[in-house]
């Protein structure tokens, strides 16, 4: 039960939509969402294919608990070969789109081929069709979403779409659903755009069956109580969102600032959760108006914010003054500390544009930070930027750059390549703070050693959501470890990676892991799904997923040499804060990590590991 046992295969070249049965043998080994969709992808494409070519496929997948009454059961993932990285890409999103897919009767959508003209897909209670999207091409996500609902006379339809950035091949373009929730990283929106697929609209009036309803209701109620009583999931995230971390990470000396030249930002408080809640503007209202929740969520970490129009005059566009999805920590860091900008309204505006045009604010902000360093070092000039003065700390540079990048115009085309390609073009690849071509998130590996190993080994390129050792090293969850030492971090990273692989495949949100362990997930999955789902089985599923992703990347041409960090983090010590004098100790952690993983010294899973995991 819980799975619908049905997938939709869309062949854009032929213009067909066909139902297929879900492979339940694979579901038992890979669970759903991230794991199951990746299994389908690795079986169906050549890992060496061009991410933006016709042979790549893009898969939208739910988990078995998506659409159920389990807390946070609204997740879905977009899985493909990443446009930004060329590595395996799995980008996770919340909102209501994933649950609607289950209500419409599907676990997964596999999109293959390329349409000759722009199209969008509708799925209405099992009736699936492709439609001409010529009139929607060239429009933003915020224009497409209401237009599709109006066309089909259904305001309850859930829409996932790309903006102009995805059409124009910005390599970190997102897939945005529900206006401001996003499958945000690795360029999944660029892959969608390369196929001339503008949007997917779904409406479902069905439900999700579970294997043992009485047991499921009891165990999910028990686990919701744990979330409510936890200091992070019951208090901090509802009140402050992920932005609660801004001042915490800054004080820890691990807030990457001005393209990782510094580890603390003097303007951190001005762009923090506390500042978002402070009264401002004509009416005295704060930037943050309220919190928001995705489908089935009892945490409510989402932000709804409003620009202070009295203050913000950089881009005089009143249509962006309304309340919309507000800053979360990673976006606030990338648009703020990474660029040296401490203007809250400028950051909010830039974040709105990222939502509207569908670009990843992490890669965008980090790329702007790299461009600002190129500019301040004299490597590029205003002649290269079209007259834009890319100075650290400039709100004007940030907001103009996001407008240009969102539409892939002018210097925005170059920013849309990502920092690895941008800095390489100008002969300074060392200024790109990336792994496997993907920009770092908001934690400096010199101040949080586990995150250095996390970034270096992440299968989708630098990512905090594959192994959030910050939970242990800074927050003491599930137990406190010293952020400044390398000892024990290889085992910690592996444990986080495997657990996250299982959680990402369940249909639930990884933020629940601030309060839950796999011991809390297992009984919920066991009550919902047939079979015997234990904690040990979930851990094995997560490990199997991690190794499968690794095998894909190795086949795509990645090697152990790609499990590395920029020289700045390995050689230039932190200048201030608790980590002053430290560099990343990756060289001490990586060999131990390979050994614990059951990989060779070259980072290849051994025959024994492959056999044990039935890969």
Dump pLDDT digits (tens) for 234-280.
Answer: 999 999 999 999 999 999 999 999 999 999 999 999 999 999 999 87
Phi, psi of 389 (to 5 degrees): -85, 100
**Angle formed at CA 311 by CA 306 and CA 316, multiple of 5 degrees:** 80
Determine contact, residues 189/173, Cβ cutoff 8 Å: yes
CA 266, 268, 271, 273 dihedral sign is negative
Rounded distance, CA 70 to CA 89, Å? 26
Which one, of 518, 527, 515, lies nearest residue 495 by Cα? 518
Q: 295 near 96, Cβ under 8 Å?
A: yes
DSSP 1-65: --S--EEEEEETTTTEEEEEE--HHHHHHH-SHHHHHHHHHHHHS-TTS-TTSTT--EEEEE-TT
382-401 core/surface letters (b: 16 or more CB in 10 A; e: else): eebbeebebebebbebbbbb
Facing residues of 72 across strands? Answer: none
Architecture of domain 449-612: Orthogonal Bundle (1.10)
User: Are the C-beta atoms of 402 and 353 separated by less than 8 Å?
Assistant: yes
Cα gap 85→461, rounded to integer Å: 7
Spans of the chain, pLDDT less than 50 = 314
CA distance 446 to 442: 12
Q: What is the C-alpha to C-alpha distance for residues 103 and 321, in angstroms, rounded to an integer?
A: 34
3-state secondary structure at position 502? helix
Model confidence, pTM:
0.97
Q: What are phi and psi of 492, to 5 degrees?
A: -65, -45
Name the nearest CA neighbour of 307 among 288, 332, 292.
Answer: 288
Q: How far apart are CA 319 and CA 223, in angstroms?
A: 41
Q: Residue 316's pLDDT is what?
A: 55
Right CATH for 238-251+257-432 from 3.40.50.300, 3.40.50.620, 3.40.630.30, 1.10.569.10: 1.10.569.10
Phi, psi torsion values for 151, nearest 5 degrees: -60, -40
Domains 238-251+257-432 and 449-612 share a fold: no
Beta bridge partners of 122: 129, 201
Closest CA to 36 of 70, 11, 5, 74: 5
Q: Check residue 308 and give its pLDDT.
A: 81
**CA-wise closest residue to 469 among 447, 487, 451, 482:** 451
Residue 25 Cα distances to 21, 57, 549, angstroms: 11, 22, 19
Judge whether 9 and 21 are in contact, CB under 8 Å: no
The residue among 546, 452, 447, 443 whose CA lies nearest residue 490 is 452
8 Å CB contact between 590 and 570: no
At residue 285, the pLDDT reads: 82
Which residues touch 137 (CB under 8 Å, ≥6 apart)? Answer: 118, 167, 198
Instruction: Output phi, psi for 344, to 5 deg.
Output: -55, -45
Q: Are 245 and 333 in contact (CB under 8 A)?
A: no
> What is the pLDDT, as a whole number, of residue 1?
78
Peptide linkage before 570 cis (omega within 30 of 0): no
Q: Which two tokens stand for residue 445?
A: 């590996």
Assigned architecture for domain 6-203: 4-Layer Sandwich (3.60)
Rg of the chain over Cα atoms, rounded to whole angstroms, equals 22
What pLDDT, on a 0 to 100 scale, did the predictor assign at position 340?
Answer: 98
Question: What is the enclosing helix (H) or strand (E) of 182?
Answer: strand 181-183
* Number of other residues whose CB lies within 10 A of the CB of residue 165: 32
Token duo for residue 345: 């309204």
Phi/psi for 214 (5° steps) reads -65, -45
Structural domain boundaries in the chain = 6-203, 238-251+257-432, 449-612
CA 419, 421, 422, 427 dihedral sign is: positive
| Closest to 524 in 3D by CA, of 511, 515, 537, 533 | 533
């Amino acid at each position: 039960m819980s799975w619908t046992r049905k997938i939709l295969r869309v062949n854009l070249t032929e213009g067909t939509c066909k139902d297929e049965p879900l492979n339940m043998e694979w579901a038992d080994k890979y669970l759903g969402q991230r794991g199951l969709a990746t299994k389908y992808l690795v079986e169906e494409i050549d890992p060496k294919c061009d991410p933006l070519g016709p042979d790549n496929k893009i898969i939208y997948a739910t988990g078995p608990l998506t659409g159920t009454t389990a807390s946070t059961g609204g997740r879905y993932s977009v899985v493909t070969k990443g446009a930004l990285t060329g590595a395996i890409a799995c980008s996770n999103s919340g909102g209501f789109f994933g649950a609607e897919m289950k209500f419409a009767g599907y676990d997964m959508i596999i999109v293959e081929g390329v349409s000759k003209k722009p199209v969008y897909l509708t799925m209405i209670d099992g009736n699936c069709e492709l439609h001409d999207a010529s009139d929607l091409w060239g429009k933003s996500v915020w224009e497409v979403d209401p237009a599709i609902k109006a066309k089909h006379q259904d305001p309850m339809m859930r829409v996932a779409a790309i903006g102009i950035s995805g059409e124009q091949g910005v390599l970190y373009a997102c897939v945005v659903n529900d206006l401001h929730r996003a499958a945000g990283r690795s360029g999944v929106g660029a892959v969608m755009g390369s196929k001339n697929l503008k949007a997917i609209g779904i409406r479902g009036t069905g439900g999700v069956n579970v294997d043992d309803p009485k047991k499921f209701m009891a165990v999910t109620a028990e686990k919701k109580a744990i979330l409510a009583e936890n200091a992070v999931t019951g208090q901090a995230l509802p009140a402050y969102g992920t932005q609660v971390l801004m001042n915490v990470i800054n004080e820890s000396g691990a807030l990457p600032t001005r393209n990782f030249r510094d580890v603390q930002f003097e303007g951190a408080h001005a762009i923090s959760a506390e500042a978002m809640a402070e009264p401002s503007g004509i009416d005295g209202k704060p930037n943050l108006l309220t919190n928001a929740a995705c489908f089935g969520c009892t945490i409510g970490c989402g932000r709804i914010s409003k620009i202070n129009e009295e203050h913000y005059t950089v881009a005089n566009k009143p249509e962006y003054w309304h309340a919309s999805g507000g800053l979360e920590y990673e976006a606030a860091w990338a648009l703020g500390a990474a660029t040296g900008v401490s203007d809250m309204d400028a950051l909010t505006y830039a974040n709105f544009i990222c939502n509207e045009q569908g670009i990843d604010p992490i890669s965008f902000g980090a790329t702007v930070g790299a461009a600002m360093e190129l500019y301040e070092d004299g490597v590029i000039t205003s002649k290269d930027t079209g007259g834009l003065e890319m100075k650290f700390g400039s709100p004007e540079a940030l907001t103009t750059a996001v407008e240009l990048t969102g539409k892939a115009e002018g210097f925005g085309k170059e920013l849309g390549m990502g920092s690895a390609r941008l800095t390489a073009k100008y002969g300074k690849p060392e200024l790109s703070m990336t792994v496997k071509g993907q920009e770092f998130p908001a934690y400096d590996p010199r101040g949080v050693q586990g995150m250095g190993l996390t970034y270096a080994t992440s299968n989708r390129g630098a990512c905090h959501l594959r192994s959030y050792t910050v939970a242990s090293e800074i927050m003491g969850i599930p137990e406190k470890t010293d952020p400044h030492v390398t000892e024990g971090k290889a085992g910690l990273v592996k444990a986080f990676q495997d657990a996250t692989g299982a959680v990402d495949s369940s249909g639930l949100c990884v933020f629940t892991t601030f309060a839950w362990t796999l011991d809390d997930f297992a009984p919920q999955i066991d009550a919902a799904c047939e079979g015997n789902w234990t904690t040990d089985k979930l851990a094995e599923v997560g490990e199997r997923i991690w190794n499968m992703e690794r095998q894909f990347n190795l086949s795509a041409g990645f090697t152990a040499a790609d499990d590395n960090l920029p020289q700045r983090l390995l050689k230039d010590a932190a200048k201030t804060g608790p980590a002053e004098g430290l560099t990343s100790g990756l060289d001490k952690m990586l060999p131990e990590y390979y050994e614990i993983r059951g990989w060779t010294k070259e980072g290849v899973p051994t025959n024994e590991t492959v056999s044990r995991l039935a890969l």
